[in-house]
Structure 1
Amino acid sequence: MNANSVQLCARCGAQWPVQGQPIQWCPRCQGVLFAPAPIDAPARRRNYRWVVRRPDGPTTQPRRRPARLGPTPAYRETPRWGLLDPPPALPSTRRRRGFAGLADRAPYFTTVAAVLFAVAGAAEIGRYIVLLYNRTRLIDPLVLALSDTAVWMMSILALLAAVVAAVAAVGWLAAARRRTFDNAGRRDPRSLRTLALGCLIPVVNLAMPGVFLTELTADATPKRKKLIRTWWCAWVFGGAMTIAALAWRFADSLQAKVDGVFFTALTDLVAMGVAVLTIMVMRDIDGQDAVGRALVPKRWLPATGPAHPVIEPIRPVAKTAQQEVVAK
């Protein structure tokens, strides 16, 4: 390469002497450098760049026609995107029959069971008061008969209501699981028979209902998960108290039997609390409040107001020397 050769920059026009191999980019502006040429060569001989084109390709780019503008968007009313929630779906007024209808009314049967357990607990407390009164005084046989009748009748009714509520709760659980898994695009791995056996067999039903409900909380809120865990603990505690109350009935001493009456009253009240928690879990999973009304989700919007307060606080005005003299 001739030592008197230079490369001209296509962007800034600087000339760079060729030292060894030619370079491609301008050290000053990073523009493209032309091929080396002698210093005294005219500019027209240096301003050539090789461009590769297809033999059959067009030499010029076709002009693109501008797209035709459509009609101006117009609205019949003010748009309110994101500011209006759709109305909640109205519940179907058609009542289903059979097991499906029983499942739909599971919260109602659970409420009846809670009320009967509360009344049964009150009857047990009444009997305990009668037994305490009998320590020093005689009891009218009619009062004793009424107390025994109230205890046995309320206990049987509460037990029957609990059985019906348990069967209805199994149907509700199956429907809730089916709805949750359908929304996730999956199939419920538990059959209705598995749910029924896990929820209705004694001792086994202390653990399996909590497992069945926990499987629904994969994408649930922390509040719902906490509610289900609380219900599970209360359910196990209530089951343990029921077993202890049944074992207490085999006591021989009179004082143990009296204590058993008081413990049975506490067991009935705990059963009432468990029934209330069961209703809360059903309402929460169904998207309802405590009385069965559909919950409307709250939408939180970020505040875009000024950072400083709109109404400035009132500050005392500094008194001048003349005002202080007049005040004195």
Structure 2
Amino acid sequence: MYWCPRCRGVLLSPASIDAPAERRNYRWVARRPDQRVRHAVPPAPQDKPAATPRYHATPRWGLQDPPPQQQPAPRRPLDRFVGWLGTLLVWTAAMFGVAAVAELLRYGVLLRNRTRLIHPAVLFFSDALVFVAGVLALVLALLTAVAAVGWLIETRRVAYAHAGRLDPRRARWLIAGCVVPVVNLLLPGVFLTELVADRPDPRALRAVRVWWAAWVFGGLLTVAALYWRTADSLQAKADGVMFTAFADLVAAGVTVLTLWVIRTVEGRDLRGRDRIARRWLNAVDPMVPVIEPVHPSGRDHRRAEEQGARESGSDNGAIEHPATGADAVDHAHEEVMAK
């Protein structure tokens, strides 16, 4: 073929096919595919062998063997709130107390309004105080609940790890048991009871039971206070103000009990101080003197008998013989030792 069937280009030089080799103006040459891009690579220079290192003194360096570094604990989403748990509990209890005072002031305004008109500024101040205190108390309660759930997850993990086990309940189930309404009245007490059930000190378990009862009572009281707000009569609404104040006081008490339970589980008192263990022992044995009393030796006993005999002899007219030098020295030495 003289022409390319695709591009119709010349395939051979114009010459006869059967021409001899000396009459052809082309020849076949075999080259590598990358002949045009390859360049001659100069041989790498051979490094001269380095001299053996020599030292004028004993080298003081050695292999570095740093101590193993502890792996940082993984950060969990709720860890940022756990450190503020104590502060949040205190502020939440204080805000619920302020909310209760605001409800009592509103009730006083209602009593005053039965016979006299209320100034609009006083009414505005009362409404604003009730609204702001209630909203702040609810916001702080929500943040405190998040921090408390994080503390519960971390405390259970550490307790089970100290016992050589894994927490049988996953974090998602702990969160769901503490957040879902109605269920969160029962499961938090179960989670805390599992945490302190194996402890030899019964104070933590007793504190959990007291808190559990107060927690259920506070939850039921909150539901009753919300239901009371649906009343239509004026007297029922006024009673609802007092009932709300009572519910706020109970919420403040439950918050303080929560702080007490957390500090008790951690081995501290309500103020956050480490609790010192005290042990009481029954003193049933007789008292033993610390210093042994001085008992007279045989010579002193014999000398006391001779002294008694001399005194009795002197009474009978006998002559008393003084003690010899050796006996006097021994007697003085024994007195010094006795002292």
What TM-score, normalized by structure 2, do the two folds share? 0.60
Q: Name the structure where helix makes up a greater proportion of residues.
A: 2
Q: Does 1:180 align with 2:180?
A: no
2:145 partner letter: A
* Paired position in structure 2 for 1:169: 148
What amino acid sits opposite 2:221 in the alignment? M
Aligned partner (choices 128, 141, 163) of residue 149 of structure 1: 128
C-alpha displacement at 1:224, in angstroms? 1.6
Structure 1 alignment gaps of length 5 or more: 1-95, 311-328
RMSD: 2.1
State the AA in 1 paired with 2:102: A
Q: Quick one: distance in 2 between partners of 1:300 and 1:230?
A: 25
- Counterpart for residue 287 of structure 2: 307
Aligned 8 A contact 2:149 2:175 in 1: yes
CA distance in 1, matches of 2:169, 2:77: 21
Task: Sort the Cα spacing of 1:309 and 1:253 in 2 relative to 1 into closer, same or farther, 3 A.
Answer: farther
Counterpart residue number, 2:233? 253
**What is the one-letter code of the residue matched to 2:264?**
D
CA drift at 1:110: 1.2
Tell me by how many angstroms 1:166 deviates. Answer: 0.1
C-alpha distance in structure 1 between counterparts of 2:282 and 2:165, whole Å: 36
2:114 to 105, 124, 135: 135
Aligned partners of 2:196 and 2:265 also within 8 Å: no
Are 2:197 and 1:203 aligned? no
Query: 1:111 aligns to what?
Result: 90
1:285 to 265, 290, 299: 265
**TM-score relative to the length of structure 1:** 0.62
Q: Which has the larger radius of gyration?
A: 2
- Residue aligning to 1:92: none
**In 2: Cα distance, 1:309 partner to 1:156 partner:** 68
Matched to 2:118, the amino acid is I
In the TM superposition, 1:200-279 aligns within 5 A as 200-220=179-199, 221-279=201-259
SS across alignment from 1:216: helix
Question: What are the residue-to-residue correspondences of 1:58-137 with 2, within 5 Å?
Answer: 99-137=78-116
Residue in 1 that maps onto 2:274:
294
Instruction: Output the amino acid matched with 1:250.
Output: T
Structure 1 pair 206/304, CA: closer, same or farther in 2 (3 Å)?
closer
CA displacement at 1:104 relative to structure 2: 2.4
Distance, in Å, in 1 between the alignment partners of 2:236 and 2:91 is 31
Identity of counterpart residues, as a percentage? 53
Structure 1 residues 204-248: Cα deviation after superposition (integer angstroms, max 9, x where no partner): 111111111111122232222111111000000000010011111
Kept after mapping to 1: 8 A contact 2:197/2:205? no
- 1:33-72 equivalences in 2 (<5 Å): none
State the Cα distance separating 1:172 from its structure 2 match.
0.4
